[in-house]
Amino acid sequence: MKILKVDHIGIAVKSIDEARKLYEQLLGLHYEGSETVEEQKTTTAFFPAGDTEVELLESTSPDGPVAKFIEKKGEGIHHIAFRVENLEEALEELKKQGVRLIDEKPRIGAGGAKIAFLHPKSTFGVLVELCER
Ligand code: CMX
pLDDT by position in tens, the chain (length 133): 999 999 999 999 999 999 999 999 999 999 999 999 999 999 999 999 999 999 999 999 999 999 999 999 999 999 999 999 999 999 999 999 999 999 999 999 999 999 999 999 999 999 999 999 9
Residue nearest to atom 16 of ligand 1 (CA): 121
CA-109 nearest atom, ligand 1: 50
Tally of domains in the chain: 1
**Cα pseudo-dihedral 23, 27, 30, 33, rounded to 10:** 0
Q: Is the CB of 57 under 6 A from ligand 1?
A: yes
Show the domain range for 66.
3-132
Q: What is the pLDDT of residue 131?
A: 98
For residue 10 and ligand 1, the question of a CB distance below 6 A is answered with yes
Say what the alpha-carbon torsion angle 129, 54, 39, 62 is, to the nearest 10 degrees: 110
| CA 133 from centre of chain | 13
Domain CATH for 92: 3.10.180.10
Question: In the prediction, which pLDDT does 89 show?
Answer: 97
pLDDT at res. 23:
96
Residue 81, SS3 per DSSP: strand
- The overall pTM is greater than 0.85: yes
**Ligand 1 pocket test: which of 36, 61, 127 has the largest number of ligand atoms within 8 Å of its C-beta?**
127
| Confidence (pLDDT) at 42 | 97
Specify the pLDDT at position 90. Answer: 98
pLDDT value at residue 35: 96
